[in-house]
Amino acid sequence: NTLKALKYKGRLWPAFDPESIKGVETFKSRDDDVIVVAYPKSGTHWVWEMARLLLAGKTDVPMIEKDDGMIEDVLPDKLEAQTSPRALNTHAHFELMPKEVLSKKNCKLIYITRDPRDVAVSYYNHHRKLVEYYDYKGQWKDYFPMFLSGKVDYESWFAFTRGWEQGIKDNPDLKVHVTSYEALHENTNEEVKNLAEFLGVSADEAFISEVVKKTSFDNMKASKGKNETYKEKDKSEVPIMYRKGKVGDWKNWFTVAQSEQFDEIFEQEMKETRAQKLYSNQKTCS
């Protein structure tokens, strides 16, 4: 019950080219860079696409993959060759972020969180379907403890989330826009408007709704979903990165015992955090 990952300086990354992971440390940040940051499966593709269209000022742009802007997955010279303004993304923990980004504080960061229970389910499906990357054959019941203990690439959700919250608190001059997968679902228009404002992009109502429409789950699944697919046991071909796109799918996966175990660990790990306010089960039960 293990998956293939890359250990670099004692930390677990996906099995990318080690040179691209090494490049995170020496990454040269530009004043007009925009970097979407999230633990995997928290809506990175979605928000990155929104940011990319907002920066372009139009929705009619050539299709490129989110991974082409992923700092740890693109070799340094290829990142350097991208024209400004660059829409980038990373799943790096706060303390592993490029040194320049944290010292110069010149570029803009968009930090997204998602209910960790939905993240766990989404990440399980990601690991299961990306066969050539992870060679993972476990079942959900085996994966669940692995996720809780952070034995996956990018390690513990709890540590990642605490680290980013603390990092943002300790660096008030960092330019960060904080949002959540759930808020994006609930009020997509408003959230895109906030993003445009944060990015300093002038966008009228018509453009905002165009961006919302173009980045809808169904549209992105139809246009980009064909690029990476997985053959299910019943032989159906399904997109890997565009699975369900819903809030609360964890309820279809967690047993009662898993839910109780999750709550206990969550409450211990996330005391007095923003994440606790957003995702504590105690809150939703009261």
Q: Is 211 in the site for ligand A3P (CB under 6 A)?
A: no
Q: Out of 217, 238, 259, 278, which residue is the one contacting ligand A3P (CB under 6 A)? A: 217
In the complex with ligand A3P, the residue whose CB is nearer, 71 or 241, is 241
CA 210 vs. chain centroid, Å, equals 23
Question: Quick one: which segment of 34-42, 139-147, 148-156, 158-166 binds ligand A3P (CB under 6 A)?
Answer: 34-42
CB atoms within 10 A of CB 94: 21
Minimum separation from the CB atom of position 237 to ligand A3P (A): 16
Site string for ligand A3P, 76-115 (x = CB under 6 A): ----------------------------------------
Where would I find the H helices in the chain?
A: 18-26, 44-56, 76-81, 99-104, 116-129, 131-134, 140-148, 157-170, 181-186, 188-199, 205-214, 217-224, 256-269, 274-279, 281-285
Nearest CA to 3 out of 125, 160, 118 is that of 125
Minimum separation from the CB atom of position 152 to ligand A3P (A): 13
Q: Is 44 in the site for ligand A3P (CB under 6 A)?
A: yes
Q: Is 8 in the site for ligand A3P (CB under 6 A)?
A: no
Q: Is 40 in the site for ligand A3P (CB under 6 A)?
A: yes
Q: Note if 91 is an active site residue.
A: yes
In the complex with ligand A3P, the residue whose CB is nearer, 90 or 122, is 122
Q: Out of 141, 231, 244, 277, which residue is the one contacting ligand A3P (CB under 6 A)? A: 244
**Which candidate in 45, 91, 126, 127 is catalytic?**
91
Question: For residues 124 and 279, what is the distance between their CA atoms, to the nearest angstrom?
Answer: 19
Q: Which amino acid would we find at residue 100?
A: E
* Residue in the block written with tokens 């445009």: 196
Minimum separation from the CB atom of position 127 to ligand A3P (A): 11
Q: Is 243 in the site for ligand A3P (CB under 6 A)?
A: yes
Q: What angle do CA 173, 178, 55 make, to 5 degrees?
A: 90
Q: Is 118 in the site for ligand A3P (CB under 6 A)?
A: yes
Question: For residues 6 and 264, what is the distance between their CA atoms, to the nearest angstrom?
Answer: 30
In the complex with ligand A3P, the residue whose CB is nearer, 66 or 162, is 66
In angstroms, the Cα distances linking 212 to 53, 103, 196, 280 are 10, 33, 12, 29
Q: Kindly list the residues in this chain that would bind ligand A3P in the complex (CB under 6 A).
A: 38, 40-46, 118, 122, 125, 215-217, 220, 241-245, 249
